[in-house]
Amino acid sequence: MTSSSLKTELRSNPVKEIFINFFELTKARLAISVVFSSIVGYLIASDSFDLSTVLLLTLGGYCMVGASNSFNQIIEKDIDKLMERTKNRPIPSGKMSVNTAFIISIILTLIGVIVLYKINPKTALFGSISIFIYTCLYTPLKTISPLSVFVGAIPGAIPFMLGWVAATNNFGIEPGTLFMIQFFWQFPHFWALGWMLHEDYGKAGINMLPTRKKDKSTALQVVLYTIWMIIISIFPVSGLTGDLRLSIVSAVVVLALGLGMLYFAINLYIKMSTSAAKKVFTSSIVYLTLLQITYLIDKIYIWI
């Protein structure tokens, strides 16, 4: 379907257009992946399955992530017009007004906080912290300093641990470890993205790379942070992370996944190419997804 035919179809189907704009504003695919992380965190923490809690976590999690993404697009409406990857978003393309997006953001925030509070207060607290850091610190810092990646890694790492907090109403070494896994994962993931889109980001004055350049130093840091990510990912096998445990078999699987991602990180250091960075980015998504599935299978095996 061509772009013009799609626009014609949307104009003739306003309900469909509303839903599409909403999903684009809230970045539905990203939000769903975040919700998945939270649910996995809940399942590996809980000794039983409570459907009502899972549904609340799903709804509340989507609303909180959707609100963060919506606020982000409001703040970045002008610079989004400058980049190829963002110029067709609802606000810069004129498909949605800023006022409408702001109202949606507020409603999603309120629903998210209330729903997560129904699980327990700590879950709502961490969800609120995530929105605040993403919207008020990370977003404005993107055009100022590459340190934005460090700041953005904090809310980005909360979902995995949020599920544990939802299940236990407690924050300790277990959710802290889950947080650190996803925290260190953020760096090779977003630096690879920053490498891939360096020129496009440059149009809007955004530079995500630690040295501001696609150089050996940046590539080396991708390698080093990947190594740290692998270490923390298999650390629960040591038995030093409280109730968060990992069997030797699962630890070997996670290690193998990590070494696969490390291979692509080293390949980036050697080749220094956009295609190599894309492989790091893709492998990071595969790594996190399979790691979470491995942790979940490991917990299910314990249940059985």
**132-190 per-position pLDDT tens digit:** 999 999 999 999 998 999 999 999 999 999 999 999 999 999 999 999 999 999 999 99
Total structural domains within the chain: 2
Domain boundary among 140, 170, 200: 170
Q: Phi/psi zone of residue 111: left (φ > 0), alpha (ψ -120 to 50 degrees), beta? A: alpha
3-class SS of residue 209? coil
Q: Does pLDDT of 199 surpass 80?
A: yes
Task: Clarify whether residues 117 and 192 are in a common domain.
Answer: no
- 55-64, 86-95, 172-181, range with the lowest pLDDT: 86-95
Q: What is the mean pLDDT of residues 3-14?
A: 52
Task: Clarify whether residues 14 and 145 are in a common domain.
Answer: yes
Task: Clarify whether residues 17 and 90 are in a common domain.
Answer: yes
- Residue 270: how many CB atoms within 10 A of its CB? 10
CB 251 within 8 A of CB 239: no
What confidence tens digit (pLDDT) does each residue in 249-304 have? Answer: 999 999 999 999 999 999 999 999 999 999 999 999 999 999 999 999 998 876 55
Task: Clarify whether residues 37 and 164 are in a common domain.
Answer: yes
**CATH code for the domain of 133:** 1.10.357.140
**Amino acid letter for position 85:** R
pTM: 0.89
d(CA 18, CA 63): 17
Task: Clarify whether residues 178 and 156 are in a common domain.
Answer: no
DSSP state of 290: H
Domain range for 219 is 172-304
Q: Phi/psi zone of residue 272: left (φ > 0), alpha (ψ -120 to 50 degrees), beta? A: left
Q: What is the pLDDT of residue 237?
A: 95
Task: Clarify whether residues 255 and 160 are in a common domain.
Answer: no
Domain boundary among 170, 194, 215: 170
- What's the whole-number average pLDDT of the chain? 91
Q: How far is CA 279 from CA 34, 109, 286, 287, 290, in A?
A: 21, 35, 10, 12, 16
Q: At what angle do helices 173-196 and 148-168 cross, to 10 degrees?
A: 150
Q: What is the mean pLDDT of residues 105-131?
A: 95
d(CA 194, CA 78): 19
Exposure on the CB side of residue 21, measured as CA atoms within 13 A: 21
Q: What is the DSSP string of 92-147?
A: TTTSS-HHHHHHHHHHHHHHHHHHHHHH-HHHHHHHHHHHHIIIIIIHHHTTT-TT
Task: Clarify whether residues 135 and 1 are in a common domain.
Answer: yes
Could you tell me which residue, 194 or 14, shows the higher pLDDT? 194
Q: Which residue has the tokens 């544990």?
A: 164
Domain boundary among 106, 136, 170: 170
Q: What is the pLDDT of residue 13?
A: 60
Q: Does pLDDT of 6 surpass 50?
A: no
Task: Clarify whether residues 183 and 304 are in a common domain.
Answer: yes
